[in-house]
Amino acid sequence: MRDVPELLDGYHRFLDGRYPQEAALYRSLAEVGQAPKTMVIACCDSRVDPAAIFNAGPGQLFIVRNVANLVPPFEPQGDYHGTSAALEFAVTGLEVETILVMGHARCGGVRAYLDGLHEEPSEKTGFIDRWMSLLKAARVDAMREASGGSIEEQQRALEHASVRHSIENLRTFPFIRERLADGRLKLRGAYFDIADGKLLALDPDTGQFAPLD
């Protein structure tokens, strides 16, 4: 990594600064293993880091990041499902108590889909096109909610709708339904605004986003 100085410099700052303060914690995590109570499904956007947003330390959050923080429905016959595999491990292995789907403002993937760049997947489409087709159902709801609004209002509506639909897709996984039914697991949604740092929480009863107190 010597040809990537920003990574090398960052590692040295970590090794000289943060690591000595948390060395005992890292050793404990190495010996005992991880036991996070919360799983966060977030976008891979470089501006949205769940650990930074929640000021979380090592071992506190089990994080999965993908394009547009999407959750596919349960597909037992699928070939490769990184997000689904992470869900299975977090829920059945680590036994997390909460799964948080966190969307964010100005999501590039959502905007591209909204602009019509990612329509129905075909044999000629790429990985992104197929992945973003998961937004099809959410787009219907978003366009109903923001009908006649500006492109920015439509994008925010779709970003919100994508979180709600990802949570609904979570409910299609049998091991998640089982734990929801007996109270071992909670599903939550949030929305982060990059520009002002505000975090909105999804009200599970109303389906609306509201600022945290």
Q: How would DSSP label each residue in 53-79?
A: HTT--TTSEEEEEEGGG--PPP-TT-S
Residue 44 has a pLDDT of 97
pTM of the model: 0.93
Under DSSP, is residue 177 helix (H, G, I), strand (E, B) or coil? helix
Nearest-angstrom CA–CA distance, 57 and 116: 39
Q: What percent of the chain has pLDDT over 90?
A: 78
Q: What is the structure's pLDDT at 126?
A: 81
**Which of 14-23, 99-108, 114-123 has the least mean pLDDT?**
114-123
Question: Which of 157, 85, 78 minimizes the C-alpha distance to 114?
Answer: 157
pLDDT category of residue 117 using cuts at 50, 70 and 90:
very low
* Cα–Cα distance, 95 to 91 (Å, whole number): 5
Q: How many angstroms separate the CA atoms of 145 and 180, rounded?
A: 28
At the topology level of CATH, where does 35-211 sit?
Beta-carbonic Anhydrase; Chain A (3.40.1050)
Which residues on adjacent β-strands are paired with residue 38? 61, 98
Angle between helices 136-145 and 151-170 (to 10 degrees): 130
The residue ranking higher by pLDDT, 3 or 179, is 179
Q: Is the model's pLDDT at 101 over the cut of 70?
A: yes
Chain center to CA of 209: 16
Q: Is 95 helix (H, G, I), strand (E, B) or coil?
A: coil
The answer on pLDDT for 120 being more than 70 is no
Q: How many CB atoms lie within 10 A of CB 173?
A: 22
Q: List alpha helices for the chain, DSSP H.
A: 5-13, 19-32, 50-53, 82-88, 108-114, 127-132, 136-145, 151-170, 174-181
At residue 99, the 3 state secondary structure works out as: strand
Judged against a pLDDT cut of 50, whether residue 118 lies above it is answered with: no
**Where do you find CATH 3.40.1050.10 in the chain?**
35-211
Count of C-beta atoms within a 10 Å radius of residue 180: 16
